Amino acid sequence: MSGEGGEDAVRQGTDEVTGGGSGDAGARGGAVRSLAELERQVAERRQRPAYGEDALISCDRLVRIFTADGVEVQALQGLDLLVNKGELMALVGASGSGKSTLLNILAGLDVPTAGAASVGGYDLLSMDAASRLRYRREVVGFVWQQTARNLLPYLTAAQNVVLPMQLAGRGGSFRAKRQRAARATELLDMLGVGYCHDRHPGQMSGGEQQRAAIAVALANNPSVVLADEPTGELDSATGEQVFASFRTANEELGTTVVVVTHDHAVADAVRRTVAIRDGRTASEVVRHTEVDEHGQESVVAREYATVDRAGRLQLPRDYTDTLEIRSRVLLELETDHIGVWPDRRSGEGKAERQD
Ligand SMILES: Nc1ncnc2c1ncn2[C@@H]1O[C@H](COP(=O)(O)OP(=O)(O)OP(=O)(O)O)[C@@H](O)[C@H]1O
């Protein structure tokens, strides 16, 4: 706090200060707080963790502008996102909303134009080439939609899983080799495709290839696995099996998983689904399990609109369409909520019901 009022109070030798600097206390409702109260608030604010301090993934006002043929496309327009360690979450949004752009940045494959982004303590904007390589090998694993892009066709499933460990260069001894082979077997078994150990991708179904691809992504024990439409090329039953493998990785290994998806079965099966609209996070659905008085468990989903770091809130389009809100709304601050009304004076909003 800048403490203009506080300084006044000290000068006047009193323990009472105005809420908003000298002279405007009346205009702000005459809030008078004690110096002790202000000191308590300052101390509380200092103790509050900075934005994203506790999160594994933190995106703060992230911007990515592409320039193609002299035309600028703002793929990300100040996107905020926090993901906690151990989360299994989904990102959804219309085509072109910026999901893949975000995932490529988090994967260390692309660099944002502005803003801040960090994953597991790595600053994605300022990493040098060596840190970026280490980041991509050890901190994140990636699964693409196209099954063919995830596995090398001339290696078996097990050899594909061993490869990232070899590239990370952890020892060439016989013991190290044995450990890598054992880990590949263990991961393929855990994801239910142990029987594909010696098969080449061409001898595996699309679902088996994707589950082996998850094992590849997990090989170096990354903090995060990112997946872009991993069930996009699969039928729904196979898609469910693949999603179950992500859940297994999350539950058994504690790996944080972020999945971009158009697949409702996936988006509805995670605890948190964040919707991206026009390059910003717009809303999120959070699910939790409730147990009723008969001990019956049910999943309850609640939708929240996101308030970004600048205080912006995107109203869901179906809400604004229903109330015919086009350009502005009337706001009213109540003690425990904010009322939002169509501005009827300017002719917006549905006519009020007469009954
Ligand atoms: N390399 C690029 N050069 C120019 N424009 C790009 C580039 N990559 C993405 N864009 C543009 O950025 C915007 C966001 O694209 P992005 O691929 O992130 O969307 P998306 O939400 O993943 O879409 P989809 O669901 O169709 O994959 C789009 O307008 C896209 O055309």
Residue 210 has a CB neighbour count (10 Å cut-off) of 31
Could you read off the pLDDT of 316-333 as tens digits, one per residue?
888 889 988 888 899 998
Ligand 1 centroid distance, CA of 74 (Å)? 9
Ligand 1: which of 81, 100, 109, 276 to mutate, most ligand atoms within 8 Å of CB?
A: 100
* Closest C-alpha to ligand 1, atom 29: 96
Residue-averaged pLDDT of the chain: 85
List, chain by chain if needed, residues with CB within 6 Å of any ligand 1 atom: 66, 68, 73, 75, 93, 95-101
ipTM score here?
A: 0.97
Q: Is 118 a residue whose pLDDT tops 70?
A: yes
2-6, 89-93, 242-246, 330-334: least confidently modelled range = 2-6
**Domains of the chain as residue ranges with CATH:** 4-47 (no CATH), 57-280 (3.40.50.300), 315-355 (no CATH)
**Atom 16 in ligand 1: residue holding the nearest Cα:** 98
**Angstrom distance (rounded) from CA 247 to CA 254:** 10
- Nearest-angstrom CA–CA distance, 145 and 131: 26
Of 62, 134, 109, residue with least CA distance to 226 = 109
Taking residue 131's Cβ as centre, other Cβ atoms within 10 Å add up to: 15
Alpha-carbon distance 188 to 197, whole Å? 7
Q: What is the pLDDT of residues 156-180, one digit of tens each?
A: 999 999 999 998 876 678 888 899 9
Cα(73) to ligand 1 centroid in Å equals 9
Q: Strand pairing partners for 337?
A: none
